[in-house]
Amino acid sequence: MDKEMAIRKFREIAHNPYGYLQELKTNTGKKMIGSTCAFTPEEFILAAGAHPFRVFGESQSFSGADAHIQAYGCSMVRGMLEDGLSGKLDFLDGVVFPHACDSIQRLSDIWRLNIPSLHFYVLLPVKLDSSLAKSYFLNVLVRFQKDLGKALDTTITERNLKEATVLMNNMRRRLIRLYQLQSEHPGILTGADLSAMVKASMVMDKREVVDLLDVVLAALSKSPAPDKKIKRILISGSVCSHPDIYKMIENKAAVVVWDDLCSGSRYFEGLADENKNPVQAIAGRFTERYVCPAKHLGVTFQMENLKKLVNEHKIDGILFMLLKFCEPFSFDYPDIKTELEKMEIPFLLVEMDRHNEVDEQMRTRIDTMLEIL
């Protein structure tokens, strides 16, 4: 397999993730356990011999979900519910609901009442960085391990968990390397392809992901770096898997060189310590790394993380992609805005629904920001 074939495969799976999962279930007979958020400790699902995948909210109209969730619920959560209600996830055996934001918590209840499947909670502490939170979170994970093992009629051993931790780390290392390559040689991959590769990694068999990423990485390390003067963009916010947005940015001689998105780096950033007891290592990964605005770490934390990314990746401008009604992100934004204005870094906030077409108004805003840079 060559690089183009590998990327095409990622693209196809990102385009039709549930088709891939249905086929995987038919071929392997594995239990399919969906996750609704990047806080899901997927290692436990792997160690239980099941297949973890992200429920994306692929549905584009929410006629079923709208009967349960108000229109001011975010389109991610409404889309996930619609996927479940409309039968798109009929291959699914269970779902994990980490208690990250309020919307996912409410989705969990609605799901339990309306969609027959196994139901797992990961009751995250409100603050992840206190010493009490660490011991609490360890207990939560031990409970999840037991609940999952019992429901899937298996015992999750330390050895299996360790293997799963190594496998997830291997995938994460490769995705991190891919992002680093894009930052070192902007345009080495199109933003749309990179985004599709991360999305596909969230649904695919992790060993297959590692193998395909090895093919891509080997080819990229040999390919010459594009030598163009470009503007370096950071996308921050909720999700952005719109190929059109990346294309729009690239048409203006700019490249997204890093992101801080739930559909991007938040999935793979941070490694679990392979020398530790695996439950502790998994807990450590979640409590030590920066994750998502849903876990508030004070008004300065988000900004410090952004500053770090801006410096590390020599960012020229920041595009905030906000999923409409994403409260955790909106709460942080005023502080971020004030700080960025002081730092005189150009930035733009764009609000959108998960499946909104990229319209001309949005194009005008984004084009203008890129023309100002």
Taking the complex as a whole, how short is the minimal distance between the CB of residue 348 and other proteins, in angstroms? 9
Closer residue to other proteins (CB): 307 or 365: 365
Alpha-carbon dihedral sign for residues 252, 258, 262, 265: positive
Shortest distance in whole angstroms from residue 222 CB to other proteins: 36
In angstroms, give the least distance from the CB of 367 to other proteins.
Answer: 5
Q: How far is the CB of 368 from other proteins (least distance, A)?
A: 4
Question: Shortest Cβ distance from residue 350 to other proteins (Å)?
Answer: 10
Element (H, E) at 259: strand 254-260
Q: Which residues lie closer than 8 Å to 55 by C-beta, 6 or more apart?
A: 34, 35, 36, 80, 83, 84, 89, 92, 95
Q: Which of residues 127-156 bind other proteins (CB under 8 A)?
A: none
Work out the number of other CB atoms within 10 angstroms of the CB of residue 157.
Answer: 14
Q: Which of residues 232-271 bind other proteins (CB under 8 A)?
A: none
Q: Name the residue nearer to other proteins (CB basis): 13 or 362.
A: 362
Out of 130, 135, 139, 368, the residue judged to bind other proteins by CB under 8 A: 368
Q: How far is the CB of 349 from other proteins (least distance, A)?
A: 10
Position 367 contacts other proteins (CB under 8 A)? yes
Round to whole Å and give the CA distance between 350 and 355.
Answer: 14
Q: Which two tokens stand for residue 147?
A: 């609940």
202 vs 369 by CB, closer to other proteins:
369
**Three-state DSSP class for 220?**
helix
Binding residues for other proteins restricted to 307-366, rule: CB under 8 A: 360-361, 364-365
3-state SS class at 255: strand
Who's near 87: CB < 8 A, 6+ residues apart?
Answer: none
Range list of H helices, 88-157? 102-114, 131-151
Q: Which is nearer to other proteins, 235 or 366 (CB)?
A: 366
Summarize as ranges the residues that interact with other proteins (CB under 8 A).
360-361, 364-365, 367-368, 371-372
